[in-house]
């Protein structure tokens, strides 16, 4: 079951239980290891353990965007980019990392920060470079092109893969 929540930045939130390959060459410039930017404010959170739960996360993000980001002037393109990024990063966490995968999106005045973490801090995200497209592995590259900044880091026993989008 997906557990998701969105918050207004004051600590109050809306809780919903149902709201909603590593053989390529590494490209450290595309997805560098560096600290995640600090971000506080209105945010959405979800915890997933199975790929089938991504559908509920997409629904929860769409509800959060409709109820919060649109009021702040964000457009449908940001929502579409965010949903693509969540699909790619969360599915990578489930396939190549260790569940549960935690998804957190935070809106600040300047940007929207997406942080997807999993329980495998020992393996870096590896963008596929020069791999036959039929073998997959293009998600990190795609997300990199949608964002203004990205990276990954380890905090405690979790790997955090993050991406920053323009605010809208």
44: CATH: 3.30.565.10
The total of structural domains in the chain comes to: 1
Range of the domain at 49: 21-166
Q: Is position 6 within any domain? A: no
Q: Apex CA 19: angle with CA 58 and CA 76, to 5°?
A: 40
Inside any domain, residue 31 = yes
Q: Is residue 10 part of a domain?
A: no
The token pair at 119 is 């329980």
Q: Could you tell me if residue 158 is inside a domain? A: yes
pLDDT digits (tens, 9 = 90+) for 39-50: 888 889 999 999
In a domain, 8, yes or no: no
Task: Name the β-bridge partners of 160.
Answer: 117, 153
Residues whose CB falls within 8 Å of the CB of residue 64, separated by 6 or more in sequence, listed in order: 6, 44, 105
159 part of a folded domain: yes
- Does pTM top 0.75 for this prediction? yes
User: Does residue 4 lie within any of the structural domains?
Assistant: no
**Per-residue pLDDT tens over the stretch 106-139:** 988 888 899 999 999 999 998 877 777 777 778 8
């Amino acid at each position: 079951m997906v557990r998701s929540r969105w918050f207004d930045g004051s600590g109050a939130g809306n809780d919903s239980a149902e709201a909603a390959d590593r053989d390529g060459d590494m490209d450290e410039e595309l997805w560098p290891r560096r600290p995640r930017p600090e971000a506080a404010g209105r945010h959405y959170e979800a915890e997933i353990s199975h790929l089938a739960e991504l559908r509920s996360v997409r629904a929860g993000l769409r509800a959060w965007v409709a109820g919060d980001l649109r009021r702040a002037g964000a457009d449908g393109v940001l929502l579409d980019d965010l949903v693509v990024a969540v699909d790619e990063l969360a599915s990578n966490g489930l396939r190549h990392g260790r569940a549960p995968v935690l998804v957190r999106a935070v809106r600040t005045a300047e940007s929207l920060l997406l942080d997807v973490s999993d329980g495998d801090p020992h393996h870096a995200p590896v963008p596929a470079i020069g791999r036959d497209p039929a073998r997959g592995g293009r998600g990190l590259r795609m997300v990199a092109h949608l964002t203004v900044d990205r990276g990954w880091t380890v905090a405690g026993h979790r790997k955090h893969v993050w991406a920053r989008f323009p605010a809208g």
